[in-house]
Structure 1
Amino acid sequence: MYANDGFRELGLRECMRLMATEPVGRVVYTRYALPAVLPVNFGLDADGAVVLRTSATSDLVRAVNGAVVAFETDRIDTARHAGWSVVVTGTATVVRDPGEHERLARIMPVSWMPCPQETFIRVEPEVVTGRELVGGGTMYGVDLSA
Structure 2
Amino acid sequence: MLRNGDFQTLDRPDCLRLLGRVPVGRVVYTQRALPAVLPVNFRLDADFSVVLRTSAGSELARAVDGAVVAFEADEYDTVTHSGWSVVVTGRAAVVTDPAEQERLSRCGPESWMPVGDGVFVRIESDMVTGRRLTGT
1:16 and 1:107 mapped to 2: Cα distance?
18
Matched, 1:115 2:115: yes
Residue of structure 1 equivalent to 2:105: 105
Residues 68 and 3 of structure 1: is their aligned pair in 2 closer, same or farther, counting only changes over 3 Å?
A: farther
SS of residue in 1 equivalent to 2:79: coil
2:23 and 2:59 mapped to 1: Cα distance?
22
Residue of structure 2 equivalent to 1:36: 36
Provide structure 2 residue ranges, at least 5 long, that are not aligned to the other structure: none
Measured after TM superposition, the shift of residue 85 of structure 1 is: 0.3
* Count of residues in correspondence between the two structures: 135
Residue of structure 1 equivalent to 2:48: 48
Matched, 1:82 2:86: no
Q: TM-score, normalised by structure 1?
A: 0.89
Q: Aligned-residue CA RMSD in angstroms?
A: 1.3
Measured after TM superposition, the shift of residue 44 of structure 1 is: 0.8
Q: Percent identity?
A: 61
Q: TM-score, normalised by structure 2?
A: 0.96
2:25 and 2:3 mapped to 1: Cα distance?
27
2:109 and 2:58 mapped to 1: Cα distance?
18
Provide structure 1 residue ranges, at least 5 long, that are not aligned to the other structure: 137-146
1:30 and 1:6 mapped to 2: Cα distance?
33
Structure 1 stretches of 4+ with a deviation exceeding 2 A read 2-5
